[in-house]
């Protein structure tokens, strides 16, 4: 997982007992659709919470005066820090069409900024194979283990085709889900929820972006 170093940081900076999630990411999406109404790319923005951003910059020896400002060279040294994915990692982004998951490429066009104490990264992913019709596509940003909580708070836009729109669908938080959240919060940070029989809470709590096109 791309957050392996975060585990080390959290062990050093927090008490033995922690709560899932440990990292909070405000997520933005650009859905790129061609003139034929096919979904070809996703541009994904991750704005990391201030504490995680602090851990990353401290580990790398950045911002030694703690003024919350990084030089251009320091920002450049951060670029791609969260893109070192292990084989099989889906980038915590799931694209579905008619219930089937579609493969996405490795990250491209990676960019990093730093503002107000937060690291913000963007990357582009192409739909592999034949791009599907965009209408009815569903995009879900989530971590199955809920170690990282992704919430769509950034902009969600559609580019390339004016006939298409994207809307954010919030999860239906039931009493059962709230109980599962409470159970998860009792786990220490080294425990994988699936090892203690907890389900894929990350998906159950995921925001969804649903794409519709007038011409479809």
Which pLDDT tens digit goes with each residue over 96-132? 999 899 999 999 999 999 999 999 999 999 999 999 9
Which parts of 132-195 fold into alpha helices (H)? 175-185
Q: Are 134 and 163 in contact (CB under 8 A)?
A: no
Burial 103-118 (b: 16+ CB within 10 A, else e): ebeebeeeebebeeeb
Domain residue spans in the chain? 4-213
> How would CATH label the architecture of 4-213?
Distorted Sandwich (2.70)
Which of 26, 2, 22 minimizes the C-alpha distance to 11?
22
Q: What is the mean pLDDT of residues 150-155?
A: 91
Q: What average pLDDT is seen over the chain?
A: 85
Please list the residues that pair with 108 across neighbouring strands.
124
Q: What is the mean pLDDT of residues 17-28?
A: 79
State how far the alpha carbon of 200 is from the alpha carbons of 83, 138, 140, 142, 194, in Å.
23, 18, 13, 10, 8
CA dihedral for 24, 193, 169, 126, sign (positive or negative): positive
Strands 148-159 and 23-33: parallel
Count of beta carbons in the 10 Å neighbourhood of residue 129: 8
Q: Residues 6 or more apart from 22 whose CB is under 8 A from it?
A: 6, 10, 52, 147, 148, 189
SS3 116: coil
Q: Is the pLDDT of residue 187 over 90?
A: no
Q: Is the pLDDT of residue 53 over 80?
A: yes
């Amino acid at each position: 997982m791309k957050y392996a170093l975060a585990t080390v940081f959290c062990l050093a900076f927090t008490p033995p007992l922690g709560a899932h999630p440990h990292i909070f990411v405000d997520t933005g999406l650009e859905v790129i659709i061609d003139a034929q109404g096919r979904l070809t790319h996703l541009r994904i923005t991750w704005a990391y919470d201030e504490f995680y951003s602090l851990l990353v910059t401290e580990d790398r020896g950045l911002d030694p005066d703690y003024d919350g400002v990084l030089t251009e060279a320091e920002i450049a040294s951060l670029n791609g820090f969260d893109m070192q994915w292990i084989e099989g990692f889906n980038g915590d982004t799931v694209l579905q069409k008619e219930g089937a998951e579609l493969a996405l490429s490795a990250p491209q066009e990676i960019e990093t900024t730093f503002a107000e104490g937060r690291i913000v990264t963007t990357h582009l992913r192409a739909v592999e194979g034949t791009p599907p019709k965009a209408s009815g596509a569903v995009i879900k940003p989530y971590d199955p283990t809920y170690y990282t909580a992704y919430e769509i708070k950034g902009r969600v836009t559609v580019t390339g085709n004016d006939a298409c729109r994207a809307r954010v669908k919030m999860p239906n938080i039931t009493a059962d889900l709230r109980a599962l959240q409470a159970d998860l919060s009792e786990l220490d940070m080294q425990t994988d929820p699936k090892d203690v029989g907890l389900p894929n809470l990350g998906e159950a709590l995921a925001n969804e972006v649903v794409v519709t096109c007038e011409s479809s």
